[in-house]
Amino acid sequence: MRALILSDIHANIDALDAVLEAAPQHDVVWNLGDVVGYNAAPEAVIERSRDIGTMFVRGNHDRACAGLTGTENFNPVAFRAVQWTQRQLGPDSLQWLKEMPSGPILPAGGQVSCVHGSLLDEDEYLLSTEDAEGQFARTRTPITFFGHTHVQGGFAANAAGEWFQLKPAYSDDKLVESYDLDLRNSAKYLINPGAVGQPRDRDWRAAFALYDDAAGDDQAARVTFFRVPYDVQAAQMRIHRAGLPEMLAARLGVGR
Ligand code: ZN
């Protein structure tokens, strides 16, 4: 079984389409949330995501754009993007956003867990091994996929519960690149596919991952991380035309 794992698309249709074009053959698509917010094509991204998606976990921007919670925790730029997004959404999309389930969700017969932020809280950022440590006792599956930080990679813990950072090592900065991580049966993993639509790990290319439950040595599971170039200028033009804050366009160019 091969699952395409997408997170933090954030209404960036140019990035999403480049990802789907580059994605290897897969059986299902798991979406870790923040389908909308920040970028300027929410309706197109919702439509495409619904077409392809087999499992969804909502993110904090999905929740805010759906009007389910306030935006007290949003900075002024993110808040303006939420307001703008709400004006763009048709009733059908709005209803769909409202009904997005919150994580953790365990697809694939309970093989893995999927969350937006952390196992405890969809708004929590897992950025360091200290953040990961708090998750160890709460993992119900050896593998948890998470998003929210917009940083590709994640964490692995050995049998003693010691956590290590995972970061795909890429060689080039221009082409489609992939990095294989063969998973060990004795370890626990917190894995972030990275952000499709607004990377923040200083690599502007769209990020995603593929999970294969039997591609590794001796039929063990494997996660492959990918980066793909996309038409950043097209995404930036949409932001300009929409009148969204300039900073949202600028950050796409530098991946932060
Ligand atoms: Zn996000």
What domains are defined for the chain? Answer: 2-109+172-185+196-253 (3.60.21.10)
Ligand 1 centroid from CA 148, angstroms? 5
Rounded Cα distance between 188 and 50, Å, is 30
**How do the pLDDT tens digits run along the chain, 256 residues long?**
999 999 999 999 999 999 999 999 999 999 999 999 999 999 999 999 999 999 999 999 999 999 998 888 899 999 999 999 999 999 999 999 999 999 999 998 888 999 999 999 999 999 999 999 988 888 889 999 999 999 999 999 998 889 999 999 887 666 789 999 999 988 999 999 999 999 999 999 999 999 999 988 788 899 999 999 999 999 999 999 999 999 999 999 999 9
Comparing CA positions, the residue from 164, 151, 144, 169 lying closest to residue 221 is 144
Rounded Cα distance between 35 and 196, Å, is 10
Ligand 1 centroid from CA 186, angstroms? 31
Sheet holding 112-114, edge to edge: 112-114, 143-145, 188-192, 153-157, 163-166
Q: How many CB atoms lie within 10 A of CB 207?
A: 30
Q: What is the pTM of this model?
A: 0.96
Ligand 1 centroid from CA 219, angstroms? 33
pLDDT of residue 73: 84
Comparing CA positions, the residue from 189, 164, 194 lying closest to residue 179 is 194
- Which token pair is 40? 């300027």
pLDDT of residue 69: 87
Ligand 1 centroid from CA 61, angstroms? 7
Ligand 1 centroid from CA 195, angstroms? 7
The CA-atom distances, in angstroms, between 52 and each of 16, 35, 55, 120, 244 are 11, 13, 9, 27, 28
Ligand 1 centroid from CA 116, angstroms? 8
Ligand 1 centroid from CA 176, angstroms? 22
Q: How many CB atoms lie within 10 A of CB 23?
A: 18
Answer for the pair 116, 30: CB distance below 8 angstroms, yes or no. Answer: no
Task: Give the per-residue SS3 of 222-234.
Answer: EEEEEEECCCHHH
